[in-house]
Amino acid sequence: MIRTAVFPVAGMGVRFLPATKSTPKEMFPIIDKPLIQYAIDEALAAGASRLVFITSSTKPSIKDYFSDNLKLESRLTKASKIQIPEDFIDVVPSNVECIFINQDFPLGLGHAILCAENAVGDEPFFVHLVDDLIYSEEPCLLQMKNHFDSYNHSIISVEKVPIQETSKYGIVELSKANNINVINSIVEKPDPIDAPSDMAVVGRYILTPKIFNFLADQEKGKGNEIQLTDAISKLLLEEQVHAFVFDGIRYDCGSKLGYLKANIEYGLRSDELGNDFLKYLLALKKESS
């Protein structure tokens, strides 16, 4: 059983300034649901019952999202024109514990995960990077958890990327053992010429608690930040770490283009909007050709 999911959400979102001046990127909607809600739903679907958010005091609206907004609720009910969506009232079910920890210095993803050590305890845990939105029939973390149940090793989700983009990702070098992808090495954001492969780390991990030993001593690496990738690189000298090629489509919602693509494709899939949206796009295409 993996109980805990860690969401590092303290990042400054500089690529989306000026919007992120007051709205954290994790609160950006895909249609009408914020990215953080997609992340929560995925972790709950994989069985998590304790959600740990590593946030920053400069982003109060993340915590606000979890509080009741009784004033708005009562106004909407009184006006009775609007059907209140279920997850307006329940962001998480009542049996799920949410823990918020401030990471007030942007020291990197590795440092963010280290901040969760006491909350996680001596157990394997999920890490979910909210920027990476994954559309799939079976939620990505659940796919990974099913793999973990058979092998009990740390798992990192990966996908093939164009070789010229390796400097945006952690990159792994793999070998196959009994049909399992075992990671031999991992490096954070290498230039294409130094990249050991074109298999990139996507923001879903299951980590054994041993990672905390390495994070505690981890020096700053790429970008002068404490990198999770560097700690994983040490972990795999002591434990097998598997790479997991998930079934699904990833949208890099940390980039403007990726975010736009996600809105368009989720819009087209939407029961409520899909048909009208498709008609609109086809008409637009006709007009412009």
Instruction: Enumerate binding residues for ligand G1P (CB under 6 A).
Output: 109, 129, 131-132, 169-170, 188, 200-203, 228-229, 254
Cα distances from 13 to residues 30, 121, 203, 254, in angstroms, run: 16, 29, 16, 8
The residue among 203 and 248 lying less far from ligand G1P, judged by its C-beta, is 203
Q: How far is the CB of 132 from ligand G1P (least distance, A)?
A: 5
Q: How far is the CB of 131 from ligand G1P (least distance, A)?
A: 6
From the list 94, 142, 124, 169, the residue with the least C-alpha distance to 244 is: 142
Rounded CA separation 261/239 (Å):
37
Residue in the shown chain whose Cβ atom is closest to ligand G1P = 170
Contact 206, 175 (CB under 8 A): no
Cα distances from 27 to residues 23, 66, 101, 193, 241, in angstroms, run: 7, 12, 17, 36, 32
**What residue spans of the chain are helical by DSSP H?**
35-45, 60-64, 70-79, 86-89, 109-115, 117-120, 140-151, 211-216, 228-238, 256-269, 274-288
The residue among 42 and 131 lying less far from ligand G1P, judged by its C-beta, is 131
Contact 235, 210 (CB under 8 A): yes
The residue among 117 and 131 lying less far from ligand G1P, judged by its C-beta, is 131
Q: How far is the CB of 199 from ligand G1P (least distance, A)?
A: 10
The residue among 92 and 156 lying less far from ligand G1P, judged by its C-beta, is 156
Contact 50, 97 (CB under 8 A): yes
The residue among 91 and 161 lying less far from ligand G1P, judged by its C-beta, is 161
Q: How far is the CB of 47 from ligand G1P (least distance, A)?
A: 23
Rg (CA), the chain: 20
Q: How far is the CB of 74 from ligand G1P (least distance, A)?
A: 39
The residue among 91 and 134 lying less far from ligand G1P, judged by its C-beta, is 134
Phi-psi region of 231 (alpha: psi -120 to 50; beta: other; left: phi over 0): alpha
Q: How far is the CB of 104 from ligand G1P (least distance, A)?
A: 18
Q: How far is the CB of 38 from ligand G1P (least distance, A)?
A: 15
The residue among 91 and 141 lying less far from ligand G1P, judged by its C-beta, is 141
The residue among 37 and 229 lying less far from ligand G1P, judged by its C-beta, is 229
- The separation between the first and the last C-alpha atoms of the chain, rounded to the nearest angstrom, is 54
Q: How far is the CB of 170 from ligand G1P (least distance, A)?
A: 3
